[in-house]
């Protein structure tokens, strides 16, 4: 067992460092010092040389060699300062992936220990979204206010995005030390530029976190919400079919039809844009920053080196508190604005589902109509088959009987044989005998009478059938037209009823008049 109060943090820190992997990033440093004599003030930012990174990095941490404190004239003292290790344009695709460091293991551990940075910062490498934490360390002789502020996003186009800030402020030396890293999509570069412009106020350790927060809550966030609301209005015009919007003004209209796929895709994208930098999360960040400022001022207010009440640091402190109040009010307004947008998106999504249901109902009606037409056509075919069967039943027996009993054109009685068939059959000579006085007449010369009557009669029957069938087709066409009219009328009634119940403008806008 050890009496060291930070033994647990130290052990967990060392175990995490050994587990993490290393990726290389370009590294630079920033030093800002303010003295009682402004002529000694410095503000320098340079990149570490790759060939001397190991030595230069250690010298910068411990202020040795080229980074040793300057010799001051008698009476000139250091007022405040900030010293940062910077990786402002982190490029490696794994740079914000959990379990990765962009400094070597030795360099990272030396930086944390030499500058009293929070050990537990390494445990936040997997944190997503905005995160802010602050606390005092356990060094009572030289207390440090430790700060962790980071935001790691998910991958986009194969690369991680985000930024990270670790700070430690010494109340004995009035110097803030830390480490800042960000990808090109972050505002770290602009925030460091802003910090250099405010070099005279670096005695306040929350200056850089508030600057980063200010850039993260810039007007771009408000513009995103305004663009989402305009996007929503376009969707409402397309989904609700408001009469005040012309068809040619809507990108969702394809002639008389609505592009439902495009509307559905834009509803999802619009919803995502509204949730971008959700204000509730940043309201918690603002509250956490305010708590950190209260922690700082609880010690700094009683320290004459910070100027006390009415001093320079107090004025900066009050200015930053006022800015935080402004962000709190701004985020509350954005929260209400986004809430209304989300509610209206929900309404449009429900209306879109109603339209899709109407389209499905219309498709069902069309399918029912087609089935009804097919059934009607099958019924007509069966009627025609019945007619043909009836015609066959009428004509075929008579034709069959006539062919047997009515064919008097074939004579099987020999010439001069008399009219007694029995005699002819029993005593007459056979056909082809040698008797020259007897002769068989197989075909009568009156056979043409059969064809003269049959052909015209057949023509008359066929013509009558064609006339009757044409008349019947006209009746069927009239019936089909009645079916179509009935289907369209039923569809119009269903659509009107559904629209009246779901999206009636009269009920929406004139409800107060009744």
Average pLDDT over residues 315-338: 93
Same domain, 61 and 113: yes
Whether the CB-CB separation of 130 and 286 falls below 8 Å is answered with: no
60 and 37 share a domain? yes
Compute the distance between CA of residue 442 and CA of residue 124 in angstroms, rounded to an integer: 120
* CB 84, CB 48: distance < 8 Å: no
Q: How confident is the model over 213-218, as a mean pLDDT?
A: 90
Give the side-chain half-sphere CA count within 13 A for 275: 10
Last residue of one domain, picked from the residues 351, 370, 394: 394
Indicate if the pLDDT at residue 282 is higher than 80.
yes
Domain that holds residue 23: 8-70+77-202
Please check whether residues 389 and 318 belong to one and the same domain: yes
β-pair type (21-22, 100-101): parallel
Between residues 449 and 423, the one the model is more confident about:
449
**Do 289 and 363 have their domain in common?**
yes
Residue with tokens 């030499």: 114
265 and 325 co-located in one domain: yes
**Verdict on whether the full-model pTM lies above 0.85:** no
* Counts for the chain of helices (H) and strands (E), in that order: 12, 11
The chain-wide mean pLDDT, for the chain, equals: 80
The count of structural domains within the chain is: 2
Mean pLDDT of 473-482: 78
Higher pLDDT, 443 or 344: 344
Q: Let me know if residue 482 belongs to a domain.
A: no
Domain-located, residue 412: no
What is the arithmetic mean of pLDDT over 466-493? Answer: 75
Share of the chain above pLDDT 90, in %: 34
Amino acid 446: pLDDT: 67
In which residue are the tokens 């508030």 written? 210
According to the model, what pLDDT value does residue 160 have?
Answer: 79
User: Is residue 470 one of the residues assigned to a domain?
Assistant: no
pLDDT per residue over 251-280, tens digit each? 666 656 667 778 888 888 888 888 888 888
The tokens 């069959």 sit on which residue? Answer: 400
Q: Are residues 119 and 27 in the same domain?
A: yes
User: What b/e readout covers 441-480, taking b as 16+ CB neighbours within 10 angstroms?
Assistant: eeeeeeeeeeeeeeeeeeeeeeeeeeeeeeeeeeeeeeee
H or E element in which residue 153 lies: strand 144-156
Across the beta sheet with 144-156, the strand order is: 42-47, 28-35, 78-87, 175-182, 159-170, 144-156, 129-136
Pairing of strands 144-156, 28-35: unpaired
What is residue 454's predicted lDDT score, i.e. its pLDDT?
72
How far apart are alpha carbons 207 and 192 in whole angstroms?
A: 11
* 172 and 237 belong to one structural domain: no
Tell me, yes or no, whether 302 lies in a domain.
yes
User: Hey, what are 193's tokens?
Assistant: 């530029």
- Mean pLDDT to the nearest integer, 116-135: 90
Domain boundary among 367, 394, 421: 394
451 belongs to a structural domain: no
Q: Per the structure block, which two tokens stand in for 41?
A: 């003030």
| 171 found inside a domain | yes
DSSP structure class, residue 55: H
Is pLDDT above 90 for 235?
A: no
Longest Cα–Cα distance of the chain, Å, equals 175
Q: Are residues 183 and 285 in the same domain?
A: no
For the segment 369-388, what is each residue's pLDDT rounded down to a tens digit?
A: 788 778 877 877 777 787 77
Residue 66 lies in a domain: yes
On whether both 230 and 195 belong to a single domain, the answer is no
Per the model's pLDDT, the better-predicted residue between 459 and 435 turns out to be 459
Question: Please, is 134 exposed, middle or buried when counting C-beta atoms within 10 Å of its C-beta (0-12, 13-18, 19+)?
Answer: buried
Spell out the residues 6+ positions from residue 503 whose beta carbon is closer than 8 angstroms to its own.
240, 241, 351, 354
Do 188 and 237 fall within a single domain? no
User: DSSP strand E in 394-465: where?
Assistant: none
Q: Is residue 492 part of a domain?
A: no
On whether both 244 and 158 belong to a single domain, the answer is: no
Q: Would the pLDDT of 162 be above 70?
A: yes
Q: CA 27 → CA 24, 45, 87, 91, 110, distances in Å?
A: 9, 11, 5, 12, 15
Same domain? For 187 and 260 the reply is: no
Residues 305 and 172: beta-carbon distance below 8 Å: no
Torsion of CA 59, 63, 68, 70, to 10 degrees: 150
Q: Which two tokens stand for residue 237?
A: 């015009």
- The answer to whether residue 441 scores a pLDDT higher than 80 is no
Choose the final residue of a domain: 349, 378, 394.
394
Q: How confident is the model at residue 506 (pLDDT cuts 50, 70, 90)?
A: very low
């Amino acid at each position: 067992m050890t009496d060291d109060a930070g033994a647990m943090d130290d052990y967990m820190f060392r175990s995490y460092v050994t587990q993490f992997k290393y990726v290389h990033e370009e590294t630079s440093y920033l030093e800002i010092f303010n003295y009682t004599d402004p002529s000694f003030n410095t503000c320098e930012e340079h990149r570490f040389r790759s060939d001397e990174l190991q030595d230069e990095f250690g010298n910068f941490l411990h202020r040795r060699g080229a980074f040793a404190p300057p010799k001051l004239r008698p009476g000139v003292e250091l007022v405040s300062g900030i010293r940062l290790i910077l990786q402002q344009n982190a490029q490696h695709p794994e740079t914000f992936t959990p379990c990765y460091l962009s400094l070597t293991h030795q360099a990272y551990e030396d930086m944390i220990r030499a500058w009293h940075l929070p050990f537990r910062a390494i445990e936040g490498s997997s944190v997503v979204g905005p995160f802010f934490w602050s606390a005092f360390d356990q060094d009572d002789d030289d207390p440090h206010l430790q700060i962790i502020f980071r935001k790691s996003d998910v991958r986009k186009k194969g690369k991680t995005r985000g930024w990270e800030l670790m700070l430690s402020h010494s109340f004995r030396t009035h110097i803030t030390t830390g480490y800042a890293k960000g990808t090109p999509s972050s505002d770290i570069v602009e925030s460091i530029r802003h910090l250099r412009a405010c070099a005279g106020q670096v005695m306040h350790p929350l200056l850089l976190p508030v600057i980063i927060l200010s850039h993260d809550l810039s007007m771009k966030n408000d513009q995103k919400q305004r663009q989402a609301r305009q996007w929503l209005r376009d969707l409402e015009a397309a989904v609700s079919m408001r009469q005040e919007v012309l068809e040619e003004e809507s990108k969702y209209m394809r002639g008389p039809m609505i592009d439902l796929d495009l509307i559905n895709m834009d509803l999802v994208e619009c919803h995502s844009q509204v949730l971008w930098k959700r204000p509730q999360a940043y309201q918690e960040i603002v509250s956490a920053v305010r708590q950190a400022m209260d922690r700082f001022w609880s010690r700094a207010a009683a320290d004459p080196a910070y100027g006390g009440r009415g001093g320079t640091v107090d004025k900066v402190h009050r200015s930053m508190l006022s800015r935080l109040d402004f962000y709190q009010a701004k985020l509350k307004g954005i929260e209400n604005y986004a809430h209304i947008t989300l509610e209206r998106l929900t309404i449009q999504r429900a209306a879109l589902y109603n339209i899709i249901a109407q389209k499905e109902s219309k498709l069902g009606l069309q399918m029912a109509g087609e089935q009804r037409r097919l059934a009607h056509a099958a019924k007509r075919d069966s009627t025609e088959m019945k007619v043909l069967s009836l015609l066959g039943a009428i004509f075929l027996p008579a034709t069959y009987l006539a062919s047997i009993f009515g064919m008097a054109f074939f004579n099987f009685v020999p010439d001069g044989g008399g009219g007694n068939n029995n005699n002819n059959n029993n005593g007459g000579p056979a056909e082809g005998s040698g008797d020259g006085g007897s002769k068989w007449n197989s075909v009568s010369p009156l056979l043409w009478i059969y064809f003269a009557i049959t052909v015209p009669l057949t023509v008359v029957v066929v013509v009558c059938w064609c006339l009757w069938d044409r008349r019947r087709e006209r009746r069927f066409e009239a019936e089909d037209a009645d079916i179509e009219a009935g289907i369209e009328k039923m569809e119009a009634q269903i659509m009107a009823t559904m629209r009246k119940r779901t999206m009636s403008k009269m009920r929406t806008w004139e409800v107060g008049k009744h």
